[in-house]
Structure 1
């Protein structure tokens, strides 16, 4: 990676839709930060989601981008929630090195009722269920999947729980989504979206320093030694967490501030190093050939049931592209 200068006054211009890796060597920490703009706006506008749904999907997209750009191989990261709340499904795919697509499924009436009563927090919108992270390295290697319960917490807290339980890497994440309303020269209202994210991880050379405390067992017998579940963080990691915890939502989505200035503001006293960024784009992986291959895998009876007005029509849930086939094409 190419190291960039982060001295004040010599910062790289603000770039949207670019993930910036960084290291804080003296604190044994590294991470990534991003400010999404046009790519997220395109994803959310495509389906005209209600604002509470759009905000949740925006957070999930930022989280997926931060994780997906860390993959060191050609493959795919899929982050998905399935819950019993008004927003029953969130799914975001990241295909290395830079393609992102996202989709949400929700109960329109339930979301409308929640907006009317002001109950639009992540707890109310998601309800309870599971969050799954699936790493697909391709057809010649096995998939890996980690899961964590959705228990009414925010996506930030759920991500922290995932890393604590599945990855055993001390991790601190901040996510924020903002809706911007402007007017063009003709006075027409325009809506754009910004979503920012910051992920920091503690990766010292000594495994003992990096090891997280085991999860507390809850109600345990009186003779159980609970000391293993207690204790303070490493001082370096405690400092990183404290600094990341000071970041306001407004800073994460501030286009005038940008990622590089934010990292400088947070960590310049510790000598933060930033590296050349990785751009991300709104790009669906669907194609006519893939849809045709899928339809050919169906039985003739199943294809016959799909015929309407003499044609078989398939619409991609992610990008809303429609594909039409004559039944004879698939015989």
Structure 2
């Protein structure tokens, strides 16, 4: 069987009260890498965050997005990964040299992890915890242990070609086999990074859980997609205020804005700038002003 690319696979352990997801990012991961020249030590946590965030969207009960952010005072200053209910992802990281492989503390310094649930309808929910653990998977596990009280485990693997994630989560309520959670996580702990990166889904599940009754659902396609738009960029400029926008226009004759997620450029001339301030101010996506 050939490996399936750019898909999210759900599965459940019958009668154990445990659900799982497998996320494979191939062309999606390459699309992220093409936007910025990330060094290898930055690629790993960024790929892990993208795969982990995509896994978490499988647990959402609403239409919208989930955003994982890490901010710190180390060589990697910030990292953002976003995934939606439609299985689209995007992400970026900011860093300064020198940056090397290491633990989260070594790469991010004193940092914090922020998980934001952003439904299309309803209010945002945001949880903030200290950044803890040896990797992104451990940090997400710590978040769930402290904030959600929901046993969750992740195994993540990244190379230059793909980012892969495996997640197990215990479902609420009593279960027929109370040892199911401990048993399945012990089995998953035997997985190797090369197996995550190389084995097809069915082969991987058979290798890890061949004695368990696993039901695998149809895969859902995943793609890189940026939600930036001229309207959202205009909202960002409105948030700056007319004074700063007018100053840029006076100096440069126009305002250029680059979306940091996809590198798409947006240009506003003096006529465009005058039309910006007829609507309400709405915060928008991460972007870089060129002036």
What is the TM-score of this pair, normalised by structure 1? 0.78
**Structure 1 position 294, deviation (Å):** 2.9
Partners of 1:126 and 1:152 within 8 A in 2 = no
The residue aligned with 1:157 is 138
Matched position secondary structure for 1:153: coil
How far apart, CA to CA, are the structure 1 residues paired with 2:134 and 2:7? Answer: 28
Q: 2:53 aligned with 1:110, yes or no?
A: no
How far apart, CA to CA, are the structure 1 residues paired with 2:239 and 2:153? Answer: 44
**Structure 1 position 37, deviation (Å):** 0.7
2:166 pairs with one of 198, 207, 216: 198
Q: 2:115 aligned with 1:133, yes or no?
A: yes
Q: 2:157 aligned with 1:176, yes or no?
A: yes
Moved beyond 3 Å, runs of 4+: 119-123
Q: Which runs of 5+ in 2 are unaligned?
A: 275-291
**Structure 1 position 166, deviation (Å):** 1.1
Q: Which runs of 5+ in 1 are unaligned?
A: 1-10, 180-192, 211-233
**Structure 1 position 23, deviation (Å):** 0.5
Partners of 1:127 and 1:152 within 8 A in 2 = no
**Structure 1 position 278, deviation (Å):** 1.5
Residues 31-88 of structure 1: per-residue CA shift (max 9 Å, x gap): 1011211100110121010110011100000000101233232111110000111001
2:124 pairs with one of 131, 143, 153: 143
Distance 1:57 1:324, change over 3 A: same
Matched position secondary structure for 2:30: helix
Matched position secondary structure for 1:269: coil
Which of 1 and 2 has higher RCO (CA within 8 Å, sep 6+)?
1
C-alpha RMSD of matched pairs (Å)? 2.0
The residue aligned with 1:224 is none
Partners of 2:132 and 2:142 within 8 A in 1 = no
How far apart, CA to CA, are the structure 2 residues paired with 1:202 and 1:293? Answer: 41
Residues 220-271 of structure 1: per-residue CA shift (max 9 Å, x gap): xxxxxxxxxxxxxx522110110110110111111xx222221122223111
What is the TM-score of this pair, normalised by structure 2? 0.88
How far apart, CA to CA, are the structure 2 residues paired with 1:310 and 1:152? Answer: 48
2:39 pairs with one of 35, 50, 64: 50
Greater radius of gyration (CA): 1
The residue aligned with 1:188 is none
Q: 2:156 aligned with 1:167, yes or no?
A: no
**Structure 1 position 89, deviation (Å):** 0.3
Matched position secondary structure for 1:22: strand
**Structure 1 position 168, deviation (Å):** 1.0
The residue aligned with 2:52 is 63
